[in-house]
Structure 1
Amino acid sequence: MSTSPSEAGAERPGAAPVRIGALVPLSRPGWVEAGQHLLAGLELAVRDVDDGGGIGGRPLELVVRDTAADPEKAAAAVGELAELGVAAVVGEYHSVVARAAAARADALGLPYLCSSAVIDALTAHPTEWVARLAPAQSRGWQLYADFLLGAGHNRVAVAAQPSVYWATGTRILRDYLTPRGGTVIELDMGASSATAVAEELVAHRATALLLLVGFPDPAVPIVRAVRRDQRLADVLIGAPAGQPEFAEWAALLGDDGAGVPFLRYRPERLTPLGARVEKALRERLGQVPSFVGFEGYDTVAVLAEALRAHGTDRPRIAEFWPRVAVEGTRGEIQFSRTPGIGVWQWAWPPIQVVDRDPAEPDRFRVLHAG
């Protein structure tokens, strides 16, 4: 899939476009709705850059590739995009996919600005080629664990599928909760049904269940099974990865999907730019935009600044990461080196723990922030 300059911005007559590659999950088993929000943010920012004169009079062109949540497909796409001559690669939502893309970009000497993936170890070793906007998983999930303790939940069950991302999340939760008197109970969803999860919650006297699983399956059946079991009426269901923010969650679960806390990477008040972008994204998407749309917009805003400074020279774009100072939709964006993280990191985007209000499921409540 490719987006031409005429689709993603106003083309300047006689000026060759500046091409940037975009990795986005747009088909199953990828999280398609997240991909759509990410792409909407990327495209809106490209349009705004071009309306403001482009890159030295040259329009931006997004060359979009659907990763479908497949790491091998993403790595191959990075190689293809590099051969097509893109100045840099942006995007991706799924952590395991972004990790594969980052490794390939690093090997090829191609700048990669990761929009949404949060896994701490985005690369196996420190690299100058990769920068990231999303907060590290350890920071967000520790904030989530702090919220659980503050709400009185110290017996926390996690229903997890096999994945390095979910396994890392479980470890972060355990490392934070255990020294503070909490207990983490692992439920292997590779061997359990939704009904079995309900029985395990009763047996272990868990007060909270976290969904570290795919959406819609098996997340939706698990929520329904727990909500319908009167023995579990007081059990909190949580989804730190953010599924409840999206319209599909509300459409599939209705009232059962309310009161499920998740992580959202935005401040209580957006910047003036953010307020304008929120309105434009709402019109483009036909629904309330998620934080992923803002991540997409901010990605292009940052890269455009690097392109204006250094054109399409790949090494010089990568050298620009530590000098970035861009006013984004959620605050000023700057990159730095953070202990334990091998890429240039925005430290840190604002983080909230949010849920859908049970009394009004279309309204979000901020429960905790950091």
Structure 2
Amino acid sequence: MNTPPSASGPERTDGSSVRIGALVPLTRPGWVGAGQHLLAGLELAVSEVNEAGGIGGRPLELLVRDTAADPQKAAAAVDELAALGVAALAGEYHSVVARAAAARADALGLPFLCSSAVLDALTEEPTQWVARLAPAQSHGWRIYADFLLGAGHSRIAVVADASVYWASGARILREHLAPRGGTVIELATSELSPAQVCDALVDNGATALLLLTGFPEPAVPIVRSVRRDPRLAEIMMGAPAGQPEFAEWAELLGEDGAAIPFLRYLPEHLGPLGARVEAALRERLTEAPSFVAFEGYDTITVLADLLRSHGTDRAGAAGSWPSVEVEGTRGQIRFSRTPGISVWQWAWTPVQVVDRDPSHPEQFRILHTG
């Protein structure tokens, strides 16, 4: 953990805006749909904060930077935003990118509330500068593993891209399933075509295939290939990272994209705040908001409360994570130190396993909660 002398600066009282830097994937190879939903949530909350008087009478200003799923680009954006005088950082969806941003924020002494990335090791060492809203990967993916076992799947294949995030997911699944009689068979997208993935599934006798891959490539061609292979008519496909959440999945795959369970971080029923925000997000996005949009809204809600209560001094704000108690769209938000997690963590947001209904692919079915 780094605590540079420059981390604390004098608070400005001249009526200028309070700036928050926002890291969002808005271009390929970033997950653009997720980025758009994240940004919609961030912007909606900023507009509501300003309508309510801002931060001590000063308007809240969002400085948005596109990370494009590039860790180096994200780290450079953190440097730029820090130099521009932001009070805090918000956002990011991709775990590997968020990890790079968190490392720079820690080095610079800049508070960072990570909205959506789940990789457990968001920083190498414990830090006071970083907090996270999304549940850690080990928490959510263990719930997904329990769902698989409950659905009768103990021989599970994963087709995975080369990434620390996907490797971490495969390890979590393997370690959680093995003591319960489950087996995880790993297939590499770099070595197998979609047709060869199908052959490997038949050869290994897997009853479930999990897509630990990028979207739309190679996830979409793999799904199409499996759906069209009569040998695999009974196999279940899953996508724990949430690829089927976004409208582009349904647009590209149609009925083929249904009945593919994924993790979603929403309660079964939204409270009054969540319902109001859902309606506003739907209008802003012109489609149903994903859980990522709610994460964006909650991020600004937390940061605004922190800055109102403890001022815009960076060190003061970062030292105040444990005192946060804010009503979010999905529950009461508090941060704590969680074993194995190096950042301040909301433990835990609601977790669901859901899929798109084969009869109505635009609708979701809740299959499991944890």
| TM surpasses 0.5 | yes
1:319-338 equivalent positions in 2, closer than 5 A = 319-338=319-338
1:267 alignment counterpart: 267
- Between the aligned partners of 2:71 and 2:114, the Cα distance in structure 1 is 14
Number of the residue aligned with 1:63: 63
For 2:204 and 2:244, the matched residues in 1 are separated by 25
- Given the alignment of the two structures, is residue 224 of structure 1 paired with residue 219 of structure 2, yes or no? no
Name the aligned partner's letter for residue 100 of structure 2: A
Give the alignment's TM-score, normalised by structure 1.
0.96
3-state SS, counterpart of residue 99 of structure 1 = helix
In the alignment, the residues of structure 1 paired with residue 136 and residue 310 of structure 2 have an alpha-carbon distance, to the nearest angstrom, of 28
Aligned length: 357
Letter in 1 for 2:274: G
Tell me, in whole angstroms, the C-alpha distance in 2 between the residues paired with 1:320 and 1:268: 30
Aligned equivalents of 2:315 and 2:271: distance in 1? 31
Matches within 5 A, 1:14-29: 15-29=15-29
1:198 aligns with 2:217: no
Q: Could you tell me how far apart the structure 1 residues matched to 2:156 and 2:282 are?
A: 36
Unpaired segments ≥5 residues, structure 2: 1-13
Task: Compute the displacement of 1:268 (Å).
Answer: 0.4
Deviations 1:318-361 (A, max 9, x none): 01100000000000000000000010000000000000011111
State the AA in 1 paired with 2:155.
Answer: R
Q: Whose relative contact order is higher, 1 or 2, with alpha carbons under 8 Å and at least 6 apart?
A: 2
- After superposition, give the CA deviation of every residue in 1:40-70 in whole Å (9 maximum; x if it has no partner): 0000000110111111111100000000000
**Which residue in 1 is equivalent to 2:85?**
85
TM-superposed deviation, 1:265: 0.4
**AA in 1 matched with 2:93:** Y
Find the counterpart in structure 2 of residue 128 from structure 1.
Answer: 128
- Match runs of 1:299-338 below 5 Å: 299-338=299-338
Is the 1:212–1:239 contact (alpha carbons within 8 Å) kept by the matching residues of 2? yes
User: Matches of 1:270 and 1:121 in 2, distance apart?
Assistant: 30
Partner residue, 2:138 = 138
The amino acid across from 1:142 in the alignment is: R
CA distance in 2, matches of 1:233, 1:359: 17
Question: C-alpha separation between the residues in 1 aligned to 2:202 and 2:161?
Answer: 20
Residue number in structure 1 paired with 2:44: 44
Partner residue, 2:292:
292
Distance 1:33 1:42 in 2: 14
Distance in structure 2 (CA, Å) of the matches to 1:291 and 1:148: 22
- The answer to whether the 8 Å contact 1:271/1:328 transfers is no
Q: Structure 2 CA distance, aligned partners of 1:215 and 1:294?
A: 21
- TM-score, normalised relative to structure 2: 0.96
Following TM superposition, the consecutive aligned residue runs of length 4 or more in structure 1 with deviations greater than 3 angstroms are none
Q: Distance in 2 between matches of 1:277 and 1:192?
A: 43
Deviations 1:99-152 (A, max 9, x none): 000000000000000000000000000000000000000000000000000000
How much does 1:15 deviate?
A: 2.9
User: What is the Cα deviation at residue 310 of structure 1?
Assistant: 2.1
Counterpart of 2:25, as a letter, is P
After TM superposition, give the deviation of residue 311 of structure 1 in Å. Answer: 2.1
Deviation at 1:38, TM superposition (A): 0.1
Task: Report the Cα distance in structure 2 between the residues aligned to 1:303 and 1:309, rounded to whole angstroms.
Answer: 10
2:93 aligned with 1:96: no
The one-character-per-residue Cα deviations of 1:231-272 (angstroms, maximum 9, x if unpaired) are 101100000000101000000000000000000001001121
User: Once the two structures are superposed, what CA deviation does each residue of 1:160-211 show, in whole Å capped at 9, x if it has no partner?
Assistant: 0100000000000000111100110000111111010000000001000000
In structure 2, what is the equivalent of residue 33 of structure 1?
A: 33
Any gaps of 5 or more consecutive residues in structure 1? Answer: 1-13
Match of 1:11 in 2: none
- For residues 200 and 44 of structure 1, the distance between their equivalents in structure 2, rounded to whole angstroms, comes to 46
Q: Which amino acid aligns with 2:144?
A: Y
**Quick one: distance in 2 between partners of 1:161 and 1:128?**
32
Q: How do 1:95-174 residues align onto structure 2 when only pairs under 5 Å count?
A: 95-174=95-174
Identity of aligned residues (%): 74
Whole-angstrom distance in 1 between the partners of 2:272 and 2:325:
17
Distance between the aligned counterparts of 1:325 and 1:311, measured in 2? 16
Partner SS, residue 335 of structure 1: coil
* RMSD value, Cα: 0.6
Show the counterpart of 2:9.
Answer: none
Match in the other structure for 1:352: 352
Instruction: Give the deviation of 1:298 after TM superposition.
Output: 0.2
One-letter code of the match for 1:255? Answer: E
Q: Secondary structure at the residue paired with 2:22?
A: strand
SS of alignment partner, residue 116 of structure 2:
coil
Q: Tell whether 2:364 aligns with 1:364.
A: yes
Paired with 1:25 and 1:39, the residues of 2 have a C-alpha distance of: 9
Instruction: State how far apart, in whole Å, the 2-side matches of 1:190 and 1:176 are.
Output: 26
- Distance in 2, matches of 1:306 and 1:360, equals 42
Q: How many angstroms apart in 1 are the aligned matches of 2:195 and 2:286?
A: 36
SS at structure 2 position matched to 1:40: helix
Q: Partner residue of 1:6?
A: none
Q: Which residue of 1 aligns with 2:242?
A: 242
Structure 2 Cα separation of the partners of residues 355 and 22 of structure 1: 30
